Structure formats: structure tokens, C-alpha cells
Amino acid sequence: MSAETSIPPPRISGAQLPDAVQSLLTDSPVGFALLDSDDAFGTINQRLAAVLGRTPAECLGRTPGDLLEESGERTAAASHRTCLASVREDGHAVRDRYRTRAGELWDLTWFPVTEPDTGDSYVALIAVHDVGRGTGLDGADAHRDEQRLRALLHAGNQIVWTAGPGGDVHEDCPQWRAITGQDLDRYLGRGWLDALHPDDRARVERAWDDAVLDVTPFDAMFRVRTCSGGYGHYRARAHPIMDGSRTTEWVGTLVDITNEREADELRQRLNQQLSEAAMRTARLQKATSDLAEALTADEVVNAMSEIGRSGVGADHTCVVLLDRARLRLRTIAAEHAHQLPRSAFPTDHPDIAARAIADRLPRLAANPAELAELLDDAPEVAELVRSTPERAWVALPMMAAGHPIGALRFAFSSPRKVTDEERVFLEALAGQCALAIGRAILYEQEHSTAVELQRSLLPEELPEVRGVRLAAYYRSGSQNVQVGGDWYDAFPLPDGRVAGVLGDVMGKGIQAAAGMSRIRNALRALAFSMPEPADVLTGLDRMFSATEGMDQVTTLVYFVLDPVTGQLDLSNAGHLPPLVVAGNAGPSLLETDPDTPLGVSSTRGHHKFFVQPGNTVVLYSDGLVENRKRSVDSGLDELVDVASSAPPEVVGDSQQMLEYLVESMLDGYEQDDDVTLLAVQLPVIDSVSER
């Protein structure tokens, strides 16, 4: 390997070449030219132009074959064209000889060249006077000039090195040894590979062996151990110098790319950090959105589990809640999570979540040893590691109004250190979780109260009235939906008739349940004093205007049935029409125009019907016929169709009829509201004689 002065490679186009190379081509006894894609001269030095009997200006833009034909040298022109075609087709160097009109013999070498910047392909032509005849130049020196010039066209700048045809280094390269500190003996042969980073050596050695064996260009990037003890990044390129099909030498360059590599790594790190920051922001926004929809503590924990898994790779998520009154902690784990040794424990229990709550600071343990150190080598740590797959932990206090309400706890199945960026993300997540848990606790308290209130307002059982069969059905919406205002009631009147009502107080929660309670109690009081439907609804209007807000919309259907005559008197305050299921005739809706909801001033109407023995009148809430995928109108049509398909044994049993309607109407739909039904049926008996 011999070191040479760094010379920038010539641009492979018709533009001006660098001064050093231009001087070399001008002053060298070697003829040189570059032929463009159309085989015309794009660059040619004085020496080669003179060989062709022309000036450089006369050659540019012309092909060698055309110039030789103009000079009458048709054989030489054909030989030149053949050589060019062979180089273009095979991509290998071709040697030829040319004798000028003056009798001088020149060795010609044609070989392909590719411009590094653009990838454009050219053909280079080098002409060397045979044995230096008439030039005063020794043939070996002229041939070496040819080799060095070819190497300049193929390899980059910086340190120029050479190797023998078998890939072993035989010549010194002081610049390499100045970088690595190797002495000459350690450098020669394949010793230069010893200066490479251990992780790079095998790869580079295989690439160098493959290039030498296949006689293909060598191009590799690797780290080199420098005299200072550190490593620099370098890129090595080499090309074979050929004599026909025989490799005579390898010539290449070594370029220091440490600054470029470090800048690229810095860009990659910055891009990765920006990407991770953007991803964490997106995940935090998603967490905020998911938590806004979570109503219960279990839903909050499941949302946290998904964000923890995607955000930091947490394998186990739970929320530890503080019971201040009892000074205990209660664990709520995500779905499908493994069991912890204890689901509840005192606040001073050796646990990472308890420590985070007590200190009001995040607590992290990257492995069991760190957890043991954090918890003062408590035996509970060994129990936790033995009974669960957890091997790393993060616990973050959840604060509300400046006081801890619990901790958000993440665990990992393998030792793991949480980065500063991840810690900031998790602390923000714990803040969002604290708000969601606070809302969930309030919701669950309100939900529990409303459920108990609604349950207390619905009749435990329906009254037994001679000559009448009453049936009711109530199905709450999903457990995560707040309690609604659906209600029903039925009771006998002093005159022997039976009264029934089904209503819907719009809204959810305690407010709706309380409104339902007031209306139910007022209706019962009015019914015993003036039972006729129109009178009852008029009285409710007056009460409603005095006690209920204008935004409290309430609808209901109220009826009074005489079991003896089958006469049914009914008033409808903005509710859905009752369904009549007849034994012989098909089912139908009572086609009466409903009056306005309660509290809206109107004259209450009174509708009279006669219910035949064996017929059933069904009142129902909108949850039976309306949902996100079905409108009220289509639901009413479907209700009639479903009722018409009921088997005879179902039609004859009012309770079975209600269950049949609910199961059929909700089949294929997600229930998103309470479903309430009340049925009154006149059985096929002689009610008058029995009475």
C-alpha cells in the first residue's frame, strides 16, 4: 500500500477538470480521453489528440471512428468501434494497439467509468506509447502512470492505498499507520484488518475476500481503532487494475467519514426523539379521549392498560385506590391481568404503590434488586417475584385537590429502565388517570344511589285483580349506562277497575329517578280521587308546572280498565302508542294522536276502547323500538311484525309475550337504553259470572 497526495477525482463530463488533474493530463506522456454515451469525445488531452493527428478542439464532439475514417484509416476505425461496443456490452476493459501514420505504436486501453455523483456511464480511453519509443519514458513508468490514472477515476480521495492481486498488502501506507499506530510488519499482508473494530472485522474481511475472488469493486464502511484509543468511521473503496483477464493490482482510497457519520447518527437520534415525542403526545391525547368515555373505575384501568402497553410496553397495569377512612389500599387490576399476592393491604404495607402514595413521588425499580432496596429488603418482594412474572415496576401517585387518592402502577415482565422521556409521559398519564378515577368514583356513587332509588320506586310485584292478568318486564341498559327514568305502576281502584301507567322521565341518574318518584306519587294520589285519565293528566300538568323544570321532559300512557265490560279508558301524554295483541285478529297499534308531554299546556284527550277476552294491551318504552341503528318509525313497524309471529302459547300468556317481544326486538342490536314494558290482559273466561 503506498500513500499518495490526495487528488480530487476528475468530473466525468465535458466541464472543467480540477487543476491538479488537468495538469496531470496535460503534462503526462499518457494519452487520455472520456467518451460520452454517444461515443463522442467529451474530454481529451493534447497527447491523445496528437496521436490521432488532431487538436483537442477538433476531436471534441466527434467519435474516434469518424475521425479515423476521415483520415482514410478505415481498418483502425472499425477496430475502435469494435472495442467501444465490447466495453459497452460486457462492461470489461479491452486492450488494443494502434499504429500512427508516422509509424509510432501505441497501446490502447478502453474501460467503463461511472460518475459517482450522477451514476452516468462513460468509456475512458488511455493510450501509452509502446516501450516509451520516441518519448524518453521508460515503459514500466508509463504503464504505472496508466494504472494510477485509472485508479484516480475509480476511487475517492484522501488516503490512496494499493494491494497485490491476491488482496495482501505489500507496500507501506504511512498515513494509515499514523492513524492506527500500527508498525509496518503488523500492517502488511492482512494485518490492517487488526485495526478494525471487533464487531466490523469479520464482515469487512468477507467483503474484501469476495471482491478479490470475484474481481469486483470493494466498498465498505467500518470503524478503525485510532492511536488515541477511540474509534473513527472510515469508508474504503478499491478497484482492480487489470491486464487483460489478469488482476495486476488493487488501488483504492480510505476516506474519514467520522464527522458525517456522527452527524447522521445525531440526526437519527433527533428524529427518533421527535418521533417518540410525537407518538407520546398522540397516545396522551388518545388516553384523554378514552378516559373521557370511561365511566367506571374498571373502565379507567382498562384504558390505562392499553395506553401503558402501547406507550411504554407495560405488561401489567392496575390502579391502587386509597381508602382514607380505613387507611387501606385497594387494587383494581385490568382485565386478563395476573393476580397479585394481595388485592387490599394497609397503607404501610411494603409495596411500591404504597410508597409512591406515602411519598407523593414517582417510584421506579428497574429490577427485583432495586425493588428490594426501595422496600428495605422486605420479604414481600421475594413473594411478589415468586408468584408473578413482574420484574420491573413504576408507580406514580394520583393527586386530587393536592391530596393523594391512589397510585397508577405499571409492571414489566423483564428488567427495564424507564427513560426520562417515558417518565414525563407516565406522570402526565397519572394526572389524567387521577381525574378519570375521580369522575368514576363519583359516577359509581351516583349510579348506586340511583339504582337503589329506581328499584325502590318500581313495584316489587303487581297487584292481583280478579278478571285481569298483569305482567311487567324491566331490563336496564348496559351496566355502564346511568340509570334512566323509565317506570311503570299498576294498582286497583276503589270502584273495582284497575289503573296502569308506563312513563319515561328524560335524562339519566338521580335527577331522572327523583323526577320519576314525584310523578309516580302524584299520579297515585290523583287516581284515587279522580281516576279518569284526562283528569289525572290535567292534575299532573299543574303539579309538573309547579315542581319540575322546563327541561324535565316526561311522557307517559295512563289507562283505566274495567274487567267486567272490557272498557279501557286511556290518555297519552306524548308517549308511544300501545300495542294490542288480539287472539284472532292481527296485532296493531292504538292509532290515537298523542297529546303533549307533561307540563306543556294542552287540553287532555280521553280515548275509550274495548278489550276483548284473550286480548293483551302492551305499554312499552322507546328502548324497545329505537336504538342507534333503528329509527322509531321502523321500530314500530317491526314491533307489529314481531307480535304477529308470536306462537299461540306465547300470545295466551302475557308474561311470555313480553319476554318474546324483548328478545325478538333486541336480537342483533346493542341495547343502549332501558327497556320497560307493562301488559294488561283479559283472559278468556266468564268474568261476569265469576265476579
How large a percentage of the chain has pLDDT more than 70? 84
DSSP string across 278-335: HHHHHHHHHHHHHHHH--SHHHHHHHHHHHHHHHH--SEEEEEEEETTTTEEEEEEPT
CA–CA distance from 222 to each of 210, 237, 239, 504 (Å)?
17, 12, 18, 78
What pLDDT score was predicted for residue 621? 92
**pLDDT for residue 221 is more than 90:** yes
At position 565, the amino acid (one-letter code) is T
**pLDDT for residue 684 is more than 60:** yes
What pLDDT score was predicted for residue 148? 55
Asked whether the CA dihedral 214, 219, 221, 227 is positive or negative, the reply is positive
Question: Looking at residues 398-425, what average pLDDT do you find?
Answer: 90
What pLDDT score was predicted for residue 11? 36
**pLDDT for residue 26 is more than 60:** no
CA–CA distance from 233 to each of 117, 192, 239, 400, 632 (Å)?
21, 15, 21, 53, 73
Question: Looking at residues 365-390, what average pLDDT do you find?
Answer: 95
Contact present, 416 and 432 (Cβ < 8 Å): no
**Whose CA is closest to 687, among 583, 584, 562?**
562
Longest dimension (CA), the chain: 148
What pLDDT score was predicted for residue 550? 58
Cα Rg of the chain (Å, integer): 48
**Band of pLDDT at residue 484, cut at 50, 70 and 90:** low
What pLDDT score was predicted for residue 12? 37
Residues 6+ apart with CB under 8 A from 53: 71, 100, 101
Mean pLDDT (the chain) is 83
**pLDDT for residue 373 is more than 50:** yes
**34's grid cell:** 472520456
Contact present, 143 and 40 (Cβ < 8 Å): no
CA–CA distance from 342 to each of 56, 330, 387, 446 (Å)?
93, 9, 11, 28
pLDDT tens digit string along 499-520?
Answer: 999 998 876 666 777 778 788 8
**Band of pLDDT at residue 276, cut at 50, 70 and 90:** low
**Band of pLDDT at residue 689, cut at 50, 70 and 90:** very low
Question: Looking at residues 59-70, what average pLDDT do you find?
Answer: 92
pLDDT tens digit string along 93-145?
Answer: 888 889 888 888 888 888 888 776 667 788 889 888 765 444 444 555 555 55
**pLDDT for residue 2 is more than 50:** no
CA atoms of 128 and 615, how far apart (whole Å):
118
pLDDT tens digit string along 558-597?
Answer: 999 999 999 999 999 999 999 999 867 789 998 777 889 9
At position 248, the amino acid (one-letter code) is T
**pLDDT for residue 162 is more than 60:** yes
CA within 13 Å, CB half, 494: 9
